[in-house]
Amino acid sequence: MSVPPNPPASPPKRILVVRYSQTGQLDAVTDRLIAPLREAGNVHIHEEVLRPAMPWPFPWPFLRFFDGFPETAHLRPAPLQPLGLRGDEVFDLAILPYQVWFLAPSQPVTAFLQDPVAAKVLAGRPVVTVIACRNMWLMAHEKLKALLAATGARLIDNVVLTDPGPTFATFLTTPVWLLTGRKRGFWGLPDAGLTPAQIAGARRFGLALRDALARGEERGPGPLLAGLGAVQAQPRLYVSEKAGTRSFYLWGKLIMAIGGPGHPARQPVVALYVLFLFVLIVTVVPVSLALQALLRPLFRGALTRMKHRFELPSGSATDRCRLYDD
């Protein structure tokens, strides 16, 4: 009696993971998320680490930190070192973690998405984005979606992890962390950045991706991470983000007209903008939030629609989290 042959093994799934982390926090999130994919027996991961031609420092010197905002806001990033990708690779899925700089994607990630090689690799491919930031990411993600669309990529999921501290506490703790390297809280304020539990919890997204890839679901329209509490949008921050984005754009245009990054002639204007930004934060932002709180009942429907729009495609539902409690 002949024994039927074993069905041929399916080819391994090929995953592109694009990495750039200045503080190390995003690397920690990425490691937890892709760990189940590394452990899977039928997944091959290519990790593309982005290396700026002139490395961005951490901690950031004060004026260099703010000197980076004009080009960041205008999506004119500093160049990267040559990518490890050739452009002819074929991937089943791309995972794109990124930081938010000045209400825009970080310069290294913008530079990657504007590279012709990235356009070749991402064209027609499903992409999962992962954001780790303070709390304002709405405008940055709109810009990133446009950059992805220009490559022909398909955004099928978005994961957002934000600093759980109170908004006005993070206005202080986050800059201190970036400018001094001090992450631990002070004056009774919480630590800056994500909590260890948030970082550890990123594993559930990797487990869900592993299972979805095994079923070939990445070939569908997505999302793959629905029901896992992937993103909680805060539409009340939208007005502040719009004002900040407009401010960064207009002042950035003025500063770039004076000279390129690091040009001595633009440093006084950068310093003037820092003062303007401080005044904006302590006056316009709290007034805007207070007015929105008073008017929220009148605009509840519009805010609900805005929340739903910004939470697409993955959503804020948590009904599948119990399946991936680790």
For residue 179, count CB atoms less than 10 angstroms from its CB and return exposed for 0-12, middle for 13-18, buried for 19 or more. middle
pLDDT tens readout for residues 176-206: 999 999 999 889 899 999 999 999 999 999 9
Cis check: omega of the bond before 223, within 30 degrees of 0? yes
**pLDDT range class, residue 291, cuts 50, 70, 90:** confident
Indicate if the pLDDT at residue 9 is higher than 80: no
CA–CA distance, 299 with 74 (Å, rounded to integer)? 31
Burial class (CB in 10 A: 0-12, 13-18, 19+), 41: exposed
**C-alpha–C-alpha distance, residues 178 and 61, integer Å:** 9
Mean residue pLDDT across the chain: 92
Q: Please say whether the beta carbons of 32 and 63 come within 8 A.
A: no
Once rounded to an integer, what is the mean pLDDT over residues 153-162?
Answer: 98
List strand residue ranges (DSSP E) for the chain, in order.
13-19, 43-49, 93-98, 100-101, 104-105, 126-133, 154-162
Instruction: State the average pLDDT over residues 134-159.
Output: 97
Res. 167 pLDDT band, cuts 50 70 90: confident
Contact 208, 142 (CB under 8 A): no
Q: What residues contact 202, with CB distance under 8 A and at least 6 apart?
A: 29, 32, 33, 130, 159, 161
* DSSP letter assigned to residue 125: -
Check: CB of residue 91 under 8 Å from CB of residue 16. yes
Strand partners, 48: 18
**126 pLDDT above the threshold of 80:** yes
CATH architecture classification, 13-232+313-324: 3-Layer(aba) Sandwich (3.40)
> What is the per-residue pLDDT for 297?
72
Q: What pLDDT is recorded for position 59?
A: 95
- Phi/psi at 29 (nearest 5 deg)? -65, -45
Contact of 43 with 73, CB cutoff 8 Å? no
Q: Walk across the sheet containing 154-162 and list its strands.
A: 43-49, 13-19, 93-98, 126-133, 154-162
Domain spans of the chain, in order of start: 13-232+313-324
Model confidence pLDDT, tens digit, residues 55-75 = 999 999 988 999 999 999 999
Asked whether the predicted pLDDT for residue 7 surpasses 60, the reply is: no
What's residue 302's pLDDT?
81
147: CB partners within 8 A, 6+ apart: 75, 105, 110, 113, 114
pLDDT of 2 above 60: no
Across 293-312, average pLDDT? 82
pLDDT interval class at 5 (50, 70, 90):
low
pLDDT in tens, 47-56: 999 999 999 9
Compute the C-alpha angle 290/293/294, nearest 5°: 90
Length of the chain in terms of residues written = 326
pLDDT number for residue 239: 81
* pLDDT bracket for residue 1 (50, 70, 90): very low
Q: Could you tell me the two tokens for 252?
A: 């950035």
Token code pair at residue 189:
């304020």
pLDDT at 300 over 80: no
Cα angle for residues 296, 309, 303 (degrees, 5° grid)? 5
Q: Is the pLDDT of residue 8 over 70?
A: no
Q: What token pair was written down for 120?
A: 């070749």
Query: 233-258, pLDDT tens digit by residue?
Result: 998 888 889 888 999 999 999 999 99
Return the pLDDT at 144: 98
Q: How many separate helices (H) and strands (E) can be counted in the chain?
A: 12, 7
**Residue 153 to residues 30, 50, 121, 220, Cα–Cα distance (Å):** 20, 19, 9, 13
